[in-house]
Amino acid sequence: MASGDLAVQDLKEGFEGNRIVNDFSIQVATVNGSGSQSANNVLLRSLFRMGIPVSGKNLFPSNIAGLPTWYTIRCSRHGYVARKKEIDMLVAMNAETAKEDVMSLRAGAAVVYDEPLKLDALRSDLTFYSIPYDKIVATVCPEAKLRKLVKNMIYVGVVAQLLGIDMTQVEAALRKQFAKKVKAADLNMNAARAGFDYAAASLAKRDAFYVEPMNENQDKIIIDGNAAAALGAMFAGVTVVTWYPITPSHRSASS
């Protein structure tokens, strides 16, 4: 079966009436250094805590703060964890790549975008949701310097409301993310709630993508590749590790 046929089959199996449940991918398009990684981790963990098989992957070139980066979440009722070619929901936060990101989507996808980008004029075969992030974040974050970071959590709340993600799980995931920073956790939770409330009051659900609780993650954890590699090395008996990150440096450690 060709890859295109597999994609169509995947969609058909996910349909419940006009709903596609627990079988789609989300891509957040933003910039390095914007604080989006925390928001993306919260979104990923919220889905995981609902018992839905998920995986997350960063997509970015070797670059500096301010340049494009993407994060993809695969949500699969069948337990598939490889990155999916098609993007079903795009969260467009980067003006530099927004048009190209939208034009790359297949028909039927949903786009959550920052209101000033005015992306809804680009295509008529997508579902667009315009979000006034700057207005919303101003109501929950009095410090202007922090708003750039905090407004990322607003899209977590918006996506949660559109998909049906349990906000109890969002809060649990968020407080785990900021476990040692109570004030930051409270501030970001207020932002997530503000995004959720805005979507509930102002957006009519028009796309086909939904989540529902499952029980497929028992005895499983979320772990990134670096941590998994480190644990594997330890269990294999490695006693010395060296590395060379982007910033020129050399470090070593031994047991």
- 156 in helix, strand or coil? helix
Count up the domains in the chain and report the number: 2
Sequential pLDDT tens for the chain (255 residues): 444 444 444 444 454 558 999 999 999 999 877 778 889 999 999 999 999 999 999 887 665 666 788 999 999 999 998 888 899 999 999 999 999 999 999 999 999 999 999 999 999 999 999 999 999 999 999 888 888 888 999 999 999 999 999 999 999 999 999 998 999 999 999 999 999 999 999 999 999 999 999 999 988 988 888 888 888 988 999 887 777 665 544 444 443
Instruction: Tell me the backbone φ, ψ of residue 243, rounded to 5 degrees.
Output: -155, 165
- For CA atoms 198, 201, 205, 206, the dihedral sign is negative
Task: Determine the pLDDT at residue 37.
Answer: 87
Q: How far, in Å, are 85, 121, 197, 199 from residue 202 at the CA level?
A: 31, 19, 8, 5
Instruction: Tell me the backbone φ, ψ of residue 24, rounded to 5 degrees.
Output: -165, 175
Is residue 114 located within the same domain as residue 236?
no
Is residue 82 located within the same domain as residue 200?
yes
54, 214 contact by CB (below 8 A): no
Is residue 232 located within the same domain as residue 173?
no
Is residue 88 located within the same domain as residue 208?
yes
Is residue 255 located within the same domain as residue 209?
no
Task: Determine the pLDDT at residue 117.
Answer: 95
Rg (the chain; Cα; Å): 19
Task: Determine the pLDDT at residue 63.
Answer: 59
Is residue 196 located within the same domain as residue 104?
yes
Range(s) of the domain holding residue 246: 223-255
Is residue 232 located within the same domain as residue 164?
no
Is residue 144 located within the same domain as residue 154?
yes
Instruction: Look up the CATH number of the domain holding residue 67.
Output: 3.40.920.10
Is residue 139 located within the same domain as residue 234?
no
Tell me which residue has tokens 């670059």: 63
Is residue 106 located within the same domain as residue 95?
yes
Is residue 25 located within the same domain as residue 117?
yes
Is residue 110 located within the same domain as residue 169?
yes
Alpha carbons 214 and 199: distance in angstroms, whole number: 24
